[in-house]
């Protein structure tokens, strides 16, 4: 059941819409809405984006053929929690925080913040989240009074024992506290607890510490220590989430209310554990096979929409939380596969490759099939856009940074967004205005200004990237999409203008 605070918030919002609910597009028959959200998938991992991709993505390519594919779509951050927060609130994450929720971390949302599922519920939507939540819970609800981390005062990655928790109690602060009627998943697949959670309770209590470290099929294991269900199998997470999402869709058949399904995958994020039947299905190592499996699971969910008669009135969005992990560098050398496509950078970076991601929208009869749109769009725009599609208004002082892109989707105009601010870590920003991007950070200790990590010398040589001595970097994406030519020093007036523009946006909400 929703918390008392959530019920009160929804009551107030419902009253607001009874008085002010001017319905927009599709008011008589609001569409079902499905958001499919990949984890650490690069722009170039999607075959429709990259003709040289070594990873087959047939289901996603077909989805793109059936709808609109954006070539300039962006997540808010170069890492996962902030991007999820921004997408579900229509508000840049950096207005509140920068980092991810760590092991057993608290909720990212405040009780007063309006989320997308809460907004859709005012229109009668039935809502579900199935997959990787990674937006925090109130773990203190089930933590025993004398529980203490085994690693002392560590705040980043506290290590608890299974007996430190009462696993029979409900946990607040998760999806059900922020607008979802149903949740199924394991919160964060490489964080404890390693257990399935349904709604606000752990299904089977963890009884042992993490002890499974089998060989992954690429990269590092990356599973943090903590409580685990005795027979936990990392290889079964992706298949289980896909099966549960498809089953939930089937359960909606015959119901009169529209639904909103949010499926945040944990793939192709590490640990890279594709099931054996997917081995060798790509030409890009274990990651490519895991991405192929992710595409396969997407296909299963789309088939469930078809089989149950929902496809024609369901708005499907596919996108990803950030660019590909550091392992993408080695894939270039060994397999000639470029996860970032033509763009510079990777996960965590404020270069384009850190946040320019796959972005597909399908809505039969509304969004013209086979459309490629080069307009600028952000995941923060989904809040205002989906509200318009559902026929509800976004209340004032919410979704501060969200533009309504519905006319763009419907072919009635161009994207209203001309600017965007990218950020992963505190103090490091990239600001976009038109074709211009300012990296407002100086490179240091052999690290490029927009990068979080050093890259191998061969990588810089291959792509023509050079260390900059300037206080930041300036690029024109229309002329230089790969961000090779730094024009910071030759265009001081443009730099000053963009710095002032960034300061203005940081001080004030852009849209609302």
Question: Could you tell me if 268 and 238 are in contact, meaning their C-beta atoms sit under 8 angstroms apart?
Answer: no
- The separation between CA 184 and the C-alpha centre of its own chain, rounded to angstroms, equals 17
CATH architecture entry for 429-507: 2-Layer Sandwich (3.30)
d(CA 273, CA 269): 9
Residue 142 CB contacts under 8 Å (≥ 6 apart), including other chains: 165, 166, 167, 169, 170, 171
Compute the distance between CA of residue 97 and CA of residue 109 in angstroms, rounded to an integer.
11
pLDDT score at 202: 98
Q: What residues contact residue 175 under an 8 Å CB cut-off, 6+ apart?
A: 129, 133, 183
DSSP state of 381: G
- Topology of the domain comprising 32-418: Alkaline Phosphatase, subunit A (3.40.720)
What does the domain layout of the chain look like in residue ranges?
32-418, 429-507
d(CA 287, CA 217): 7
Which tens digits make up the pLDDT trace of 295-310? 999 999 999 999 999 9
Residues lower than pLDDT 70 in the chain:
1-28, 153-155, 214, 511-512
Using an 8 Å Cβ cutoff, are 470 and 442 in contact? yes
Cα–Cα distance, 206 to 193 (Å, whole number): 7
Q: Which of 291, 284, 198, 202 is nearest to 238 (CA)?
A: 291
DSSP string of 18-61, one letter each residue: HHH----TT-SSPPEEEEEEESS--GGGSTTT-TT-SS--HHHH
| pLDDT at residue 5, as a whole number | 54
Whether 32-418 and 429-507 share one fold: the answer is: no
What confidence tens digit (pLDDT) does each residue in 318-328 have? 999 999 999 99
Q: Could you tell me which residues come within 8 angstroms of residue 431 by beta carbon, excluding any fewer than 6 positions away?
A: 419, 420, 421, 422, 437, 438, 440, 498, 501, 502, 505
CA 363/CA 492 separation, integer angstroms: 44
In sequence order, which residues have a C-beta less than 8 Å from that of residue 415 and are 6 or more positions away?
373, 375, 376, 377, 403, 405, 408
């Amino acid at each position: 059941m929703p918390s008392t605070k959530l019920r009160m918030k929804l009551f107030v919002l419902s009253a607001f819409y009874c008085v002010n609910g001017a319905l927009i597009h599709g008011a008589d028959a609001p569409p079902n809405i499905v958001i499919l959200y990949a984890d650490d998938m690069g722009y170039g991992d999607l075959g429709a984006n990259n003709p040289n991709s070594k990873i087959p993505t047939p289901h996603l390519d077909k989805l793109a053929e059936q709808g609109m594919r954006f070539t300039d779509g962006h997540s808010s951050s170069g890492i996962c929690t902030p991007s999820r927060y921004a997408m579900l609130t229509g508000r840049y994450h950096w207005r509140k925080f920068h980092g991810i929720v760590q092991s057993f971390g608290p909720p990212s949302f405040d009780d007063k913040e309006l989320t997308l599922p809460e907004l859709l519920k005012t229109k009668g939507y039935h809502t579900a989240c199935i997959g990787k939540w990674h937006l925090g819970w109130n773990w203190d609800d089930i933590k025993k009074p004398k529980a203490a981390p085994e690693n002392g005062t560590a705040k980043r990655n506290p290590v608890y024992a299974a007996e430190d928790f009462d696993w029979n109690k409900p946990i607040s602060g998760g999806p059900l506290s922020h607008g979802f009627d149903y949740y199924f998943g394991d919160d964060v697949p490489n964080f404890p607890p390693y257990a399935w959670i349904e709604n606000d309770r752990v299904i089977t209590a963890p009884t042992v510490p993490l002890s499974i470290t089998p060989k992954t099929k690429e990269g590092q294991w990356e599973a943090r220590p903590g409580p685990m269900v005795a027979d936990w199998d990392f290889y079964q997470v992706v298949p289980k989430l896909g099966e549960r999402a498809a089953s939930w869709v089937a359960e909606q058949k015959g119901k009169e209310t529209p639904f909103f399904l949010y499926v945040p995958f944990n793939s192709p994020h590490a640990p890279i554990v594709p099931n054996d039947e997917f081995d060798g299905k790509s030409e890009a190592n274990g990651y490519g096979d895991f991405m192929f499996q992710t595409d396969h699971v997407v296909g299963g969910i789309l088939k469930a929409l078809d089989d149950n008669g929902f496809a024609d009135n369901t708005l499907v969005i596919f996108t990803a939380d950030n660019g590909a992990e550091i392992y993408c560098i080695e894939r270039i050398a060994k397999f000639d596969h470029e996860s970032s496509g033509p763009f510079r950078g990777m996960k965590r970076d404020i270069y384009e490759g850190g946040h320019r991601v796959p972005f597909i929208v399908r809505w039969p009869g509304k969004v013209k099939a086979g459309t490629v749109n080069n307009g600028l769009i952000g995941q923060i725009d989904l809040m205002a856009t989906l509200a318009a599609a559902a026929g509800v208004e976004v209340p004032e002082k919410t979704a501060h940074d969200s533009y309504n892109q519905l006319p763009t989707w419907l072919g009635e105009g161009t994207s209203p967004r001309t600017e965007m601010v990218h950020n992963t870590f505190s103090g490091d920003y990239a600001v976009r205005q038109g074709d211009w991007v300012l990296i407002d950070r100086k490179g240091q200790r052999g690290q490029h200004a927009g990068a979080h990590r050093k890259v191998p010398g061969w990588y810089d040589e291959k792509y023509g990237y050079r260390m900059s001595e300037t206080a930041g970097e300036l690029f024109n994406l229309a002329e230089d999409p790969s961000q090779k030519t730094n024009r910071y020093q030759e265009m001081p007036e443009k730099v000053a203008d963009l710095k002032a523009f960034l300061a203005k946006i940081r001080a004030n909400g852009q849209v609302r």
